[in-house]
């Protein structure tokens, strides 16, 4: 992927003859300790559309340890749209490590030759995608927000934000295959699982022995998730920005969130100012969220924030400036001071909920 | 020991504005800074130098003006700085960039063996996080991304133990040096350089290498030719077709505004009302 937007290419570039037989759309189904990262299902939903547009199969790639529920994960992948799954189970694939996973995925690509290969932009996906793309010498586009097949050339047009989200650029890999892309969690919609779907599991052996692998996992320390915010998967988020003026006033965001059972988010400036932790930052340099309701209090709606929350079903914005960009993409707006509107909203929700409860 | 730190000079993306008509980046007045993520890489290399002694070499690929970023690194305490600069690099994507930097690092190794290579986790302009993994692969080095802590380094045994941020937890990894580390943000804090380093940085005769000097013989591997990706379109994000429905009351009293808003939202989104009621239970 380009570091800087270049001038749009004018010339048509033909596919290298080495790759003419590359076919089908692949999604790496990321699992660790038997748990599938939801971004993989979101990618299968998107991959289904691409495969249908191309008239090819959608295949999942499952790599895990021998004791893990590999076939079970494949079965789930079928319900989310995969036609086929390549399953590699080996002792050396138990924990994620760059070296064996890069070799496993590179071998699979070289053997079965997909035209598109997608991974989640997780720590695992980004680590793996960069290494595999370099090994294969092919193009990789990070953090795509839109993936479309160009009908004429069958090329994948990958659109992504650049310069902190100020601009979008569409990038193509014309000569090489597979065309690789990563997508951040919650950027694509979660598909409905269809329990009636099934598919073919292709079990592929992996020949790498532990003694040949340099990096060893000494320990895995699982996060204490009890107090850790999980913004990307929250259904309701109340976010605060600089319009709250003082760190003390950020409490008003917490008060409303508590009434709604919501997560608390924040814009970049207030995270940088230390009003909220990094895990709560929404935007290009923070989390991408997709809640049913997003309330933005005192957030101007800079593009860097917008790219992280544009996918929310309902956006309510409160800002003193009637011309703030947030009102260009929010669904409901109140021009007013967040410091007075937030407590009023908290009370209004409280009263409404109490009434609803009484009405039963 | 010898660490090489790869950095990039970037426009401060927080201050970037897009020209409303031409959709081009307006660079005037936007300060060029060291990619903030790279400072965590540099500081970690400097800390290892504090403990073990040795040399920290900073490398960047970029236009001549990137020299300022390198001098800044020298003022923090880096020992040597190399600017790889050539028109032939123009249009390089991450694959071509990692080739150019890996080849440059091989050239550096010819003069002094390298124990560790550091990069930031990603840049704030491209945000790809691909160049670090690319360099490691091209040098056939072990790759440690999102490192939050260097737990142990044994230069005799050529072994390093680190904590790596993974999905859902932290991996404690042990590997062999030389290897490439991308540092996670917030893991350390950049020092203030001392006055000696500040003076030295201003006077330092830093190296500027063109393509040949960097040891890149094959011009097909860099620039547009060495880049499998092409940018076909650059455009500004579209505004939503409809502006927000503004909620107003005669008095614009906060309480009335809030009640009016709720009535409006819940009438148009009855499912949302149920969802909230369920959660608040």
**Contact (Cβ atoms closer than 8 angstroms) between residue B94 and residue B136:** no
Residue numbers in A near B276 (CB within 8 A) = 236, 260-261, 293, 349, 353
Q: pLDDT-based confidence at A360, cuts 50/70/90? A: low
What are the pLDDT digits (tens) for A122-157? 999 999 999 999 999 999 999 999 999 998 899 999
Given a cut of 70, whether residue A5 has pLDDT beyond it is no
Which residue has better confidence, B5 or A32?
B5
Instruction: For domain A17-212, give the fold.
Output: Rossmann fold (3.40.50)
pLDDT under 70: residue ranges of chain B = 14, 20, 23, 239-241, 280-281
Mean pLDDT is lowest, of A48-57, A163-172, A291-300, for A163-172
Tokens of A327: 């009102």
Best of A134, A318, A322, A341 to disrupt the B interface (most B CBs within 10 Å) is A134
Determine the Cα–Cα distance for residues B23 and B19; give it in Å rounded to an integer.
Answer: 5
Q: Name the CATH superfamily housing domain B2-221.
A: HUPs (3.40.50.620)
pLDDT, residue A8, reads 54
pLDDT, residue B281, reads 60
Contact A8 B277 (CB under 8 A): no
A194 interface with B at CB cutoff 8 Å: no
Q: Can you give the residue ranges of every domain in chain A?
A: 17-212, 231-359
Express as a percent the part of chain A with pLDDT over 90: 83
pLDDT, residue A1, reads 45
**Contact (Cβ atoms closer than 8 angstroms) between residue B152 and residue B158:** no
Distances (CA, A) of B278 to A134, A307, A314, B19, B274: 49, 29, 18, 46, 6
A285 interface with B at CB cutoff 8 Å: yes
pLDDT, residue A2, reads 45
Any idea what the Cα angle at residue A80 is, between residues A79 and A86, rounded to 5°?
A: 85
Given a cut of 80, whether residue A4 has pLDDT beyond it is no
Contacts of B178 (CB under 8 A, 6+ apart): B113, B114, B115, B116, B117, B139, B141, B158
Best of B31, B65, B221, B231 to disrupt the A interface (most A CBs within 10 Å) is B231
pLDDT, residue B249, reads 87
**Contact (Cβ atoms closer than 8 angstroms) between residue B160 and residue B177:** yes
pLDDT, residue A116, reads 98
Give the torsion sign (CA, A236, A239, A244, A249). positive
Q: pTM here? A: 0.90
- Prior bond of A349 cis (ω within 30°): no
Q: If you average pLDDT over residues A16-25, what whole number do you get?
A: 97
Q: If you average pLDDT over residues A349-360, what whole number do you get?
A: 83
Mean pLDDT is lowest, of A7-21, A23-37, B211-225, for A7-21
Residue numbers in B near A284 (CB within 8 A) = 127
What are the pLDDT digits (tens) for A189-236? 999 999 999 999 999 999 899 999 999 999 999 988 767 788 999 999
Q: pLDDT-based confidence at A357, cuts 50/70/90? A: confident
pLDDT, residue A82, reads 98
Q: What is the ipTM of this complex?
A: 0.91
Q: How many CA atoms lie within 13 A of B216 on its CB side?
A: 26
Tokens of A276: 């909220």
Q: Which of B167, B232, B271 sits opposite A171 (nearest CB)?
A: B232
Q: Can you give the residue ranges of every domain in chain B?
A: 2-221, 239-281
B124 interface with A at CB cutoff 8 Å: yes
Contact B257 A175 (CB under 8 A): no
Beta strands at B159-166 and B169-176: parallel, antiparallel or unpaired: antiparallel
B111 φ, ψ to 5°?
-90, -35
pLDDT, residue A28, reads 98
What are the pLDDT digits (tens) for A270-313? 998 999 998 899 998 889 999 999 999 999 998 889 989 989 99
Residue of A nearest to B225 (CA): A175
Gap from B5 CA to chain A (nearest CA, Å):
18
CATH 3.40.50.1220 fits A231-359, yes or no: yes
Gap from B199 CA to chain A (nearest CA, Å):
31
A15 interface with B at CB cutoff 8 Å: no
What are the pLDDT digits (tens) for B160-215? 999 999 988 999 999 999 999 999 998 999 999 899 999 999 999 999 999 999 99
Determine the Cα–Cα distance for residues A30 and B264; give it in Å rounded to an integer.
Answer: 41
């Amino acid at each position: 992927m380009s570091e800087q937007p270049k001038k749009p290419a004018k010339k048509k570039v033909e596919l290298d003859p080495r790759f003419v037989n590359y076919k089908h759309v692949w999604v790496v189904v990321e699992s660790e300790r038997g748990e599938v990262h939801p971004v993989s299902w979101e990618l299968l939903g998107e991959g289904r559309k691409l495969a249908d547009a191309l008239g090819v199969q959608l295949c999942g790639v499952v790599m895990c340890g021998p004791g893990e529920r590999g076939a079970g994960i494949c079965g789930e992948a079928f319900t989310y749209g995969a036609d086929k799954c390549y399953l590699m189970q080996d002792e050396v694939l138990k924990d994620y490590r760059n070296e064996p996973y890069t070799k496993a995925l590179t071998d699979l690509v070289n053997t079965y030759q997909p035209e598109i290969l997608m991974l989640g932009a997780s720590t695992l996906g980004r680590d793996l995608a960069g290494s595999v793309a370099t090994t294969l010498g092919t193009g990789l586009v990070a953090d795509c927000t839109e993936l479309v097949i160009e009908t004429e050339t069958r090329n994948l047009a990958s659109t992504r934000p650049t310069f902190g989200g100020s601009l979008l650029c569409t990038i193509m890999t014309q000569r090489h295959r597979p065309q690789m892309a990563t997508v951040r969690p919650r950027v694509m919609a979660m598909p409905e699982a269809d329990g009636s779907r099934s598919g073919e599991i292709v079990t592929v052996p992996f020949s790498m022995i532990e003694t040949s692998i340099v990096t060893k996992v000494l320990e895995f320390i699982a996060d204490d998730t009890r107090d850790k915010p999980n913004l990307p998967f929250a259904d309701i988020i109340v976010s605060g920005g600089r319009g709250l003026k003082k760190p003390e006033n950020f409490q008003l965001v917490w008060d409303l969130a508590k009434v709604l059972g919501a997560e608390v988010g924040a814009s970049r400036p207030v995270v940088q100012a230390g009003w909220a932790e990094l895990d709560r930052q929404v935007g290009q340099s923070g989390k991408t969220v997709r809640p049913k309701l997003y309330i933005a209090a005192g957030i101007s709606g800079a593009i860097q924030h917008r790219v992280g929350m544009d996918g929310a079903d309902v956006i309510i914005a409160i800002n003193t400036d009637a011309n703030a960009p947030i009102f260009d993409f929010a669904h409901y707006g109140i021009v007013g001071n967040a410091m007075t509107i937030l407590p009023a909203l908290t009370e209004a929700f409280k009263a409404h909920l109490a009434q609803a409860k009484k009405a039963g | 020991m010898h660490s090489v730190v790869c950095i990039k000079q970037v426009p401060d993306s927080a201050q970037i504005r897009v020209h409303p008509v031409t959709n081009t980046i307006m660079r005037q007045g936007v300060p060029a800074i060291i990619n903030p993520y790279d400072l965590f890489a540099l500081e970690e290399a400097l800390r290892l130098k504090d403990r073990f002694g040795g040399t920290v070499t900073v490398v960047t690929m970029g236009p001549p003006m990137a020299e300022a970023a390198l001098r800044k690194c020298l003022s923090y305490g880096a020992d040597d700085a190399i600017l790889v600069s050539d028109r032939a690099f123009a249009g390089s994507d991450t694959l071509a960039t990692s080739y150019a930097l890996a080849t440059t690092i091989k050239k550096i190794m010819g003069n002094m063996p390298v124990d560790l290579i550091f990069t930031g986790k990603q840049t704030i302009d491209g945000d790809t996080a691909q160049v670090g993994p690319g360099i490691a692969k091209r040098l056939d080095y072990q790759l440690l991304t999102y490192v939050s802590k260097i737990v142990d380094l044994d230069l005799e045994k050529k072994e390093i133990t680190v904590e790596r941020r993974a999905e859902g937890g932290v991996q404690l990894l042990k590997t062999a040096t030389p290897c490439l580390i991308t540092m996670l943000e917030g893991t350390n804090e950049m020092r203030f350089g001392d006055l000696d380093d500040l003076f030295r940085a201003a006077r330092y005769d830093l190296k500027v290498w063109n393509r040949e000097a960097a040891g890149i013989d094959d011009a097909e591997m860099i620039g547009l030719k060495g880049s499998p990706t092409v940018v076909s379109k650059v455009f500004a994000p579209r505004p939503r077709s409809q502006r927000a429905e503004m909620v107003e009351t005669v008095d614009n009293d906060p309480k009335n505004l809030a009640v009016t808003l709720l009535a409006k939202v819940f009438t148009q989104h009855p499912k949302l009302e149920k969802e909230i009621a369920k959660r608040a239970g």
